[in-house]
């Protein structure tokens, strides 16, 4: 699976949840806009906000950029400020009346000060773990993950959302080469040797790694098990996206599939009777 697809899937899986999306909007939107919406009434829209009939009333759209990169966002928050920067200023000034332009709201996942201010426990853990997938400092990665998994607030997470945290841990293991078996064992020891809130969660993750055969850095001979684990995860993603109503084009793009792979997954799901 391509790296960009992995990040897209994790983002859609996390923030496709209305509760988490609402918590994120409360962090991103200015008060002047927050007072005009009811966060609890939000519902996710699949694929696109553009309607075929182009009917009225037209939808008011507030663009939000969630930046997830190795470095902090350093570009402008105005659409056209960077698009045509290679042209002379005089040419840009002459063309300005004829080019669309707008500002967008920015939330930079790598901005640690912003993450420290998050009040919503699940959002805080989600944002910080998504940032750590790019962390190259091994000591910092291990220390921060241990800190997140031992924070007292983690006990507030319901069982249904605990599974999402486990998915985020798997996401980091697949996306960060430093988060290998040795580091995981070290984190597990730190979390489970004392009575921390995250002990049960990290033990569940250890069990999942054993079951799915996805530990990184294992000896040769485990490749077949890892391929099987990858297939099971792709199958689970496929089922989740299908139930969500995603189009074939979206699923193919997100899972980085060709037509034959899509049809094979569809046949396997239908054969198992999981799609009703």
pLDDT at residue 214 in the model:
52
Q: Are residues 236 and 120 in the same domain?
A: no
Q: Out of 116-120, 168-172, 259-263, 272-276, which region has the weakest mean confidence (pLDDT)?
A: 272-276
What DSSP string runs through 30-51?
Answer: -HHHHTT--GGG----SS-S--
- The residue among 218, 240, 255 that closes a domain is 218
Q: Are residues 99 and 38 in the same domain?
A: yes
CA of residue 242 relative to chain centroid, distance: 18
Do 266 and 272 touch, CB atoms closer than 8 A? Answer: no
Q: Are residues 82 and 192 in the same domain?
A: yes
**Cα–Cα distance for residue pair 94/184, rounded to 1 Å:** 57
Q: Are residues 31 and 109 in the same domain?
A: yes
pLDDT at position 53 over 70: no
- Mean pLDDT on 209-227: 53
pLDDT at residue 222 in the model:
43
Q: Are residues 111 and 18 in the same domain?
A: yes
How many folded domains does the chain comprise? 2
- The residue among 218, 236, 252 that closes a domain is 218
The chain-wide mean pLDDT, for the chain, equals 77
Q: Are residues 191 and 235 in the same domain?
A: no
Q: What is the dihedral of CA 138, 143, 65, 12, to 10 degrees?
A: 90
Banded pLDDT at 139 (limits 50, 70, 90): very high
**Cα–Cα distance for residue pair 233/236, rounded to 1 Å:** 5
Residue 52: inside a domain: no
Q: Are residues 168 and 232 in the same domain?
A: no
Residue 240: inside a domain: yes
pLDDT at residue 276 in the model:
41
Residue 248: inside a domain: yes
Q: Are residues 154 and 169 in the same domain?
A: yes
Range of the domain at 255: 223-276
**Cα–Cα distance for residue pair 30/9, rounded to 1 Å:** 27
Q: Are residues 186 and 167 in the same domain?
A: yes
Q: Are residues 34 and 70 in the same domain?
A: yes
106 conformational bin, left if phi > 0, alpha if psi -120 to 50, beta if neither: beta
Do 122 and 96 touch, CB atoms closer than 8 A? Answer: no
Residue 258: inside a domain: yes
- Mean pLDDT on 9-36: 87
Residue 54: inside a domain: no
- Mean pLDDT on 194-213: 69
Distances from the Cα of 252 to the Cαs of 13, 159, 170, 174, in angstroms? 16, 30, 21, 20
User: Closest by alpha carbon to 23, among 106, 127, 120?
Assistant: 120
Banded pLDDT at 121 (limits 50, 70, 90): confident
Q: Are residues 117 and 247 in the same domain?
A: no
**Span 64-98, pLDDT tens digits:** 888 877 666 777 788 777 777 778 889 888 988 88
| Structure-model confidence comparison of residues 156 and 119, the more confident one | 119
């Amino acid at each position: 699976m391509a790296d960009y697809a992995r990040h897209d899937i994790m983002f859609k899986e996390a923030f496709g949840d209305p509760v988490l999306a609402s918590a994120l909007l409360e962090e991103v939107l200015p008060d002047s806009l927050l007072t005009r919406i009811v966060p609890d009434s939000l519902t996710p829209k699949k694929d696109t906000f553009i309607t075929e009939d182009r009917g009225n009333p037209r939808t008011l759209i507030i663009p939000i950029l969630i930046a997830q990169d190795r470095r902090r966002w350093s570009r402008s928050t105005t659409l056209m400020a960077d698009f045509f920067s290679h042209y002379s200023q005089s040419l840009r000034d002459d063309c300005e009346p004829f080019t669309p332009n707008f500002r967008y709201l920015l939330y930079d996942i790598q901005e640690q000060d912003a993450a420290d201010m998050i009040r919503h426990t699940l959002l805080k853990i989600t944002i910080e773990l998504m940032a750590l997938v790019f962390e190259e400092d091994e000591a910092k990665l291990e220390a921060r993950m241990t800190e997140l998994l031992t924070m007292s607030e983690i006990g507030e997470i319901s069982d249904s959302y605990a599974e999402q945290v486990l998915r985020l841990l798997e996401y980091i293991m697949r996306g960060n080469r430093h988060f290998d078996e040795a580091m995981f064992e070290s984190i597990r020891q730190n979390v489970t040797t004392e009575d921390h809130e995250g002990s049960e969660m990290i033990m569940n993750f250890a069990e999942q790694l054993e079951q799915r055969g996805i530990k990184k850095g294992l000896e040769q001979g485990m490749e077949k098990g890892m391929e099987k684990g990858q297939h099971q995860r792709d199958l689970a993603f496929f089922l989740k996206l299908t139930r969500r109503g995603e189009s074939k084009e979206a699923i193919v793009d997100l899972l980085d599939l060709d037509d034959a792979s899509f049809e094979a997954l569809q046949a396997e799901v239908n054969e198992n009777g999981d799609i009703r």
